[in-house]
Amino acid sequence: MSKVLVLNASYEPLNITSWRRAVVLLLKGKAEHVEHNGKYLYAEFPLPTVIRLRHYVRVPYKEIPLTRRNILHRDGHSCQYCGYTGDDLTLDHVLPRSRGGGDYWENLVTACVRCNVKKGNRTPKEANMMLSHQPRKPYSSLHFEVAKYLKSGAHQEWRKYVIGV
């Protein structure tokens, strides 16, 4: 069956869980229905797609690692200069390393080999190549997971609970 978005008592996204775990939380009174997709588990019990915990849960901030895979995911597996979405994608430093640019979220973007070579050792402005999106550090690791479901067309009702997706 499907996955369920779990919101904190403050309506902040906390987790994605299975429908079975969500039903257990509902039956124990630890959560309440927020959204459902029209399917029913029992005659009077709709299958949830979004639930909200009744009590606030403190969650420590978790740093998202700066990896090639995470940069590709953040940029939608497409070149940030021309939009190419094939297999030959590289990482490009917006401000080249030779000019003081480092390895951090705001300086790394996904680029196709052609655009990366064309840009060379210049900034996008100097190369007259505009970025489709300004690179930024992701909001949370949950953001990545939710984005996968939304991009696939599933669970569009989650969109209003997640910032920037």
pLDDT (0 to 100) of residue 87: 87
Calculate what percentage of the chain has a pLDDT beyond 70: 97
pLDDT (0 to 100) of residue 159: 84
Region 72-82: mean pLDDT is 92
**Per-residue pLDDT for 85 more than 60?**
yes
**In angstroms, rounded to a whole number, what is the distance separating the alpha carbons of residues 13 and 143?**
9
Tell me the CB-side half-sphere exposure of residue 32, using CA atoms within 13 A: 8
**In angstroms, rounded to a whole number, what is the distance separating the alpha carbons of residues 156 and 66?**
28
pLDDT tens readout for residues 96-124: 999 999 999 999 999 999 999 999 999 99
Q: What is the CATH architecture of 68-119?
A: Orthogonal Bundle (1.10)
User: Which residue from 104, 91, 101 is spatially nearest to 126, judged by alpha carbons?
Assistant: 101
Q: Does the predicted TM-score (pTM) go above 0.75?
A: no
Where exactly are the structural domains of the chain? 3-61+139-161, 68-119
C-beta neighbour count of 106 within 10 angstroms: 13
